[in-house]
C-alpha cells in the first residue's frame, strides 16, 4: 500500500440519489462528493480532489463511470494521475492503476472497460429516446412542465418589450437566459 492518503471521490447524478452505497466500507482519509450528471463538465468536487491529490496518494472511486464522462476523458485522467504517482482504484471493477509501466494489461483493461461503459450509456440513452417516442405516440408523454405560469410569461414579455435587460428578467424569474429567449420566440396566445 502507498505511503500517502486514501482519497475518495463520489458522484451521484441527482440531488436525491444516495451516496451511501459508493465506497461503503472503504477506509478513507478524505472524501469529495459531487451531485452532478456525468456529462456535466462542472464538477467542482472532482477538481478539488484532483488538486488535493499528492505523490503516493490513492484515489478511490466506486466505478469508472463515476469518474469520467467518456473513454477519452477516463484514459486522460487516469494517465495524468498515474504520471503524478497517484494510484487510482475502481472499487466495483476491482481495478487498480498505478504508474507501473511494466503492466500494459492495466491500460488494455481500462480501455476495454471504459469502452463498454460508454457503449452501455449510449444504449441506455437510445432506449430512453425510444420509450419517450412510444409514450408520445400513445399520448402519455406530456414533457417537462413549463418553468413559468402564463402570468409570468406575460410579465416577462412586457418587461422585455420595455427594454429591461434580459439577464435581469431571467434572474428575477429564476430561469436561464436561454429559457427566457425560448419564451420570447413562442407565439403569443390570442
Q: Is the dihedral of CA 82, 79, 32, 19 positive or negative?
A: negative
End-to-end CA distance of the chain: 71
Cα separation, 12 vs 18, in Å, equals 7
Q: Which residue bears the cell 458522484?
A: 11
pLDDT tens digits, one per residue of 45-90? 999 999 999 999 999 999 888 888 777 788 889 989 998 999 999 9
Catalytic residue among 13, 37, 63, 98: 13
What is the residue whose three cell numbers read 498505478? 98
Q: Clarify whether 18 is annotated catalytic.
A: no
The C-alpha atoms of residue 35 and residue 124 are separated, in whole angstroms, by 20
Contacts 24+ apart (CB under 8 A), 27-33: 28/60, 29/5, 30/5, 31/7, 32/7, 32/8, 33/9
pLDDT digits (tens, 9 = 90+) for 138-186: 888 877 788 899 999 999 999 999 999 999 999 999 998 889 999 999 8
Whether residue 132 has pLDDT greater than 90: no
Amino acid at each position: 500500500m502507498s505511503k500517502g492518503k486514501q482519497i475518495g471521490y463520489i458522484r451521484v447524478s441527482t440531488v436525491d440519489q444516495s451516496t451511501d452505497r459508493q465506497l461503503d466500507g472503504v477506509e478513507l482519509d478524505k472524501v469529495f462528493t459531487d451531485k452532478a450528471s456525468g456529462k456535466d463538465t462542472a464538477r467542482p468536487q472532482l477538481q478539488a480532489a484532483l488538486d488535493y491529490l499528492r505523490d503516493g496518494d490513492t484515489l478511490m472511486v466506486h466505478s469508472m463511470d463515476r469518474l469520467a464522462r467518456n473513454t477519452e476523458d477516463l484514459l486522460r485522467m487516469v494517465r495524468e494521475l498515474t504520471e503524478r504517482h497517484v494510484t487510482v482504484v475502481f472499487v466495483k471493477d476491482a481495478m487498480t492503476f498505478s504508474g507501473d509501466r511494466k503492466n500494459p494489461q492495466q491500460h488494455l483493461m481500462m480501455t476495454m472497460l471504459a469502452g463498454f461503459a460508454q457503449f452501455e450509456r449510449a444504449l441506455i440513452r437510445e432506449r430512453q429516446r425510444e420509450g419517450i417516442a412510444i409514450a408520445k405516440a400513445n399520448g402519455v408523454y406530456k414533457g417537462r412542465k413549463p418553468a413559468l405560469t402564463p402570468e409570468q410569461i406575460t410579465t416577462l414579455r412586457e418587461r422585455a418589450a420595455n427594454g429591461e435587460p434580459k439577464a435581469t428578467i431571467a434572474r428575477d424569474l429564476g430561469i436561464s437566459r436561454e429559457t427566457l429567449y425560448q419564451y420570447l420566440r413562442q407565439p403569443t396566445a390570442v
